[in-house]
Structure 1
Amino acid sequence: MTPEGVNIKHPDKLFIGGEWVAATSGTQIELSSPATEEVVGRVAEASNADMDKAVAAAREAFDNGPWPNTPPAERGRKLMEMADVLEKRVPEMAAAWTAQVGGLASFAPMMHGGAVAQLRGIAALGESFDWVTQQKGQVVDTAIVAREPVGVVVGIAPWNAPFGIMANKVFYALIAGCPIIMKPSPETPLETYIIAEAAEAVGLPAGTVNLVPSGRDAADHLIHSPDIDKVTFTGSSAAGMHIAGVCGSKMTRCTMELGGKSAAIVRDDFPIEAAAGILGNTITVMSGQVCAMLSRAIVTKDRHDELAEAIAGVMKGIRIGTPDDPETQLGPLAMKRQLERVEMYIEEGRKSGADLVTGGSRPAHMNKGYYMEPTLFANVDNTSRIAQEEIFGPVLCLIPAEDEEDAIRIANESNFGLNGSVFTNDPQAAYDISRKVRTGVMGQNGMRMEFGMPFGGFKQSGMGREGGPEGLWPYLETKTILLDGAPSQL
């Protein structure tokens, strides 16, 4: 069973070793719409035994299969073919996203089309990346540095942007020469079926791409396997720290793209109405369920109340509705437990003494689905829970600062460091402040994203980077070869 507009051949099976196989568990994962609360699909659920089979298939593909030894340029050409297949299926992936997590249908085609374009950039690394370099050494005649595939990769993706995040991991692993085991979120497995079908369609070697949707226990069994070489995970900091601990215990390589509590510093030179328009509309993107979300706004005290009033005005004009309505600006949260989490944090905000300026309730006109009004807390203490913990919903904290230096201090007073922004008309000031904020990405005047550039976090926001050539490095091992003379062929 799959949602309308999503055509998957074998949702009742797993993809292991190049074949669609029945899950040994005999159970299925049920998919529910957050807009209607109704079941919209079912897929096979992998057990521990299925995880072991996927690891064995990927291990065989790496140790004895052709893919790791295929020249990178040739791998890149094959991945370009795979991107062609995926591009034709953008409407299906858009429909799957809307059905599973309530993503806006008006935004879905652009989101997924952009993700496919990003994949082409990764495939192009087959030609442009320096896979092997040669130079004269100080001690030896010839020093060669070779970049080799790290080995069997496990890719674990979250539910908020399931296609783009998982496909990114798959393409980086494959261009490096690594087989990958896809473990999607149990809420959003449909996109990974489309990725597996694309791999099958272009004839990737058996075991190079594997798919095992599952719950938490089987996923934990998978990451404990001694036969995997790397885990790439996107998700919460709590889950990431657990996975990193497991990987560290056996020196399994890992990349972690985790949570955030990103700050927007509003300088005094930036107009109040313009800042309010950006902040009030940004917090509703994907219902606030974005790891890089600007969920803290910091402004000097003498402008605080005016900005709070302006943001509230913007939020009150946000159109809340079903995700298939083209006029909707804010759809539902992805699931019931996420709605309950947001409600818990709103109650914590009330208890903290912050001012609830607007929102904080389920919209009165939506009697079904997991909806929440855009919510603004003002006069927020930066040490409070709502300012320090990732809410992952349409909740913005406005924090007063003494001056610009105090705003930078407040921005850095966080366990996270994923994203951030400086609202100013002065690019030099934006640059200077950005260099002082401890975060992986900074933008000027909004939640800026550049997917072909390195993306990742400081502190509890993760380790490693995705995007650009830097996104490839974690999938490679570096080998130095010292020779008495130059080889005839590299």
Structure 2
Amino acid sequence: MLQHDQLFIGGEWVSPAGTGTIDVVSPHTEEVIGRVPDATPADMDRAVAAAREAFDNGPWPRMEPAERKAIVARLTALFGEGLADMSALITEEMGSPISFSQLGQTGQAHAVYTYFSELDITWEEERAGMLGPVTVRREPVGVVAAIVPWNVPQFIIALKLAPALIAGCTIVIKPAPETPLDAYPLADMLTEAGVPKGVVSIVAAGRETGEHLVRHPGVDKVAFTGSTAAGRTIGAICGEQLKRCTLELGGKSAAIILDDADLASTMGWLKMASLMNNGQACVAQTRILASRSRYDEVVGALTETVRSMPVGDPADPANEIGPLVAERQRERVENYIRVGQEEGAKVALGGSGRPHDRGWYVTPTVFTGVTNDMRIAREEIFGPVLSVIPYDDEADAVRIANDSDYGLAGTVWTADSDRGLDIARRVRTGTYGVNTYMIESSSPFGGYKNSGVGRELGPEGLGAYLEYKSIARLG
């Protein structure tokens, strides 16, 4: 069992203020595999104080951008060297299939560090003013509080940490209590890379201590990824305090399968787009839209595809679906499966029973006969549950895709890429794919509507950690 008795505060390993601990439980074995300190508000105060001092008086914000980029480049190299061990640790912590851990958990995180360590931007520019020249500067926003969920912990840390460091911010990271273990090797990498003391703290804790961090007067910006309900609370706090915030929240994305789509190719891609990370992904395409003329054909192909995906030990590369992160999450997903049946949807695959006696596994489920007003079509389930919804024509498909409280992701599948691009322009989501789905490091990631506020990744993601200053002068 991995046991840690210290917290990474201000770039140093220190003893916690309290005696509480967090047990990390394997979703596969249901056994305790790790234990870390449960940070208290006093620990958060110490972390914010260190970040505040490092920002207000330390070298980090005052370094040349090239110096900060060089340190992030060293962090990137160290992270790359540790990919295998980090992937295995995340799989053990939260049940992500090892193939996805290597690709989506750590591979994508490494890509994010690489992108920001190589990004060139203009930090100062001259503009013509009415009375003379104007210097426009980009300056770091200040002390950042980053609150990270359990589903893709290292990737989401990278979304916040990499641009914050490049911008010159200092940052306090709060990992989720389900997945605190993977933050420990990252802390060691930060030290080895040469990040100055005080710049980064990583402090695992529960919700109440996380809210204390959000409310802390020493924090200038909050970067949060998680549920829409929690995002509303955080957004309200930031609104009261006029504190900058980025909120990346939930999704209920639609995959539109047009009549000219090649089903074999489409299903090969949908396995990842719809069921990545055991369905525990905010971008998962869980509403499958099929025309009435090909509805039965799509249902058949989808059902056989999901049926063919092995369910079991996530550390075994042969398995494509692992357990859900916690018992409460399994209960939540199983409740939605019952709700779907009560609403009148039909089960084409799964629906009841558990594939294994031990571990928090759910049988992957495909619903048919789903209408877009059902709860299983409107609410984020966060598990391996797919709903196949019929549409009349292309306009109807776009209407159904847009008839959602969310707007994070989506895809269209077609033999005509120009036609697909036209549909992509009409669906109100922050990210979209034509015959594919990828989160691109070079492009902004975020959502419309209840899927959040602001963007991460791309130059826009760096801009979220910058303030703009205009300096007008005569002569």
Q: What is the TM-score of this pair, normalised by structure 1?
A: 0.94
Task: Please state if 1:32 is matched with 2:22.
Answer: no
Q: Between 409-418 and 324-333, report the one with greater CA deviation.
A: 324-333
Deviation at 1:88, TM superposition (A): 1.8
Gaps (5+ residues) in structure 1?
3-9, 486-490
Deviation at 1:275, TM superposition (A): 3.4
Secondary structure, in 3 states, of the residue corresponding to 2:208? helix
Q: Between 189-198 and 219-228, report the one with greater CA deviation.
A: 189-198
1:263·1:419 contact (CA, 8 Å) conserved in 2?
A: yes
Q: State how 1:367-382 maps to structure 2 within 5 Å.
A: 367-382=357-372
Task: Report the equivalent of 1:171.
Answer: 162
Q: State how 1:441-480 maps to structure 2 within 5 Å.
A: 441-480=431-470
Task: Report the equivalent of 2:287.
Answer: 296
Deviation at 1:450, TM superposition (A): 1.9
1:281·1:314 contact (CA, 8 Å) conserved in 2?
A: no
2:112·2:162 contact (CA, 8 Å) conserved in 1?
A: no
Inter-partner Cα distance in structure 2 for 1:363 and 1:18: 44
Percent sequence identity over aligned pairs: 47
Inter-partner Cα distance in structure 2 for 1:398 and 1:194: 42
Deviation at 1:152, TM superposition (A): 0.3
Inter-partner Cα distance in structure 2 for 1:114 and 1:434: 24
Gaps (5+ residues) in structure 2?
none
Task: Report the equivalent of 2:352.
Answer: 361
Task: Please state if 1:256 is matched with 2:250.
Answer: no
Inter-partner Cα distance in structure 2 for 1:154 and 1:236: 17
**What is the letter of the counterpart of residue 128 of structure 2?**
K
1:351 to 327, 342, 366: 342
2:290·2:390 contact (CA, 8 Å) conserved in 1?
A: yes
Secondary structure, in 3 states, of the residue corresponding to 2:182? helix
2:275·2:284 contact (CA, 8 Å) conserved in 1?
A: no
Over aligned residues, Cα RMSD in angstroms? Answer: 1.4
Which ranges of 4 or more aligned residues in structure 1 deviate by more than 4 Å?
none
Inter-partner Cα distance in structure 2 for 1:108 and 1:290: 13
Task: Report the equivalent of 1:6.
Answer: none
Task: Please state if 1:80 is matched with 2:73.
Answer: yes
Task: Report the equivalent of 2:128.
Answer: 136
2:46 to 38, 49, 53: 53
Deviation at 1:281, TM superposition (A): 5.5
Inter-partner Cα distance in structure 1 for 2:199 and 2:290: 50
**What is the letter of the counterpart of residue 115 of structure 1?**
A
Task: Report the equivalent of 1:116.
Answer: 110
2:27·2:326 contact (CA, 8 Å) conserved in 1?
A: yes
Task: Please state if 1:428 is matched with 2:428.
Answer: no
Secondary structure, in 3 states, of the residue corresponding to 1:371? coil
Q: Between 444-453 and 471-480, report the one with greater CA deviation.
A: 444-453
Shift in CA distance, 110/448, structure 1 to aligned 2, threshold 3 Å = closer
Task: Report the equivalent of 1:5.
Answer: none
2:88·2:315 contact (CA, 8 Å) conserved in 1?
A: no
Task: Report the equivalent of 1:14.
Answer: 7
Deviations 1:198-219 (A, max 9, x none): 1211232221001111011111
Deviation at 1:75, TM superposition (A): 0.6
Shift in CA distance, 382/58, structure 1 to aligned 2, threshold 3 Å = same
Inter-partner Cα distance in structure 2 for 1:281 and 1:190: 26
Task: Report the equivalent of 1:187.
Answer: 178
**What is the letter of the counterpart of residue 443 of structure 2?**
M
Inter-partner Cα distance in structure 1 for 2:69 and 2:267: 44
**What is the letter of the counterpart of residue 8 of structure 2?**
F
2:27·2:359 contact (CA, 8 Å) conserved in 1?
A: yes
**What is the letter of the counterpart of residue 367 of structure 2?**
F
Deviation at 1:167, TM superposition (A): 2.2
Deviations 1:44-82 (A, max 9, x none): 111011111111111111111111111111110111111
Inter-partner Cα distance in structure 1 for 2:286 and 2:207: 28
Deviation at 1:273, TM superposition (A): 4.0
2:91 to 86, 98, 104: 98
Inter-partner Cα distance in structure 1 for 2:7 and 2:395: 54
**What is the letter of the counterpart of residue 442 of structure 1?**
Y
**What is the letter of the counterpart of residue 127 of structure 2?**
Q
Q: What is the TM-score of this pair, normalised by structure 2?
A: 0.97
Deviations 1:345-379 (A, max 9, x none): 10110011111111123444x11001112211111
2:398·2:423 contact (CA, 8 Å) conserved in 1?
A: yes
Secondary structure, in 3 states, of the residue corresponding to 2:464? helix
1:277·1:311 contact (CA, 8 Å) conserved in 2?
A: no
Deviation at 1:274, TM superposition (A): 3.7
Deviation at 1:453, TM superposition (A): 1.4
2:148·2:174 contact (CA, 8 Å) conserved in 1?
A: yes
Secondary structure, in 3 states, of the residue corresponding to 2:322? coil
Deviations 1:270-301 (A, max 9, x none): 13444344435643321011110001011221
1:11·1:43 contact (CA, 8 Å) conserved in 2?
A: yes
**What is the letter of the counterpart of residue 379 of structure 1?**
G
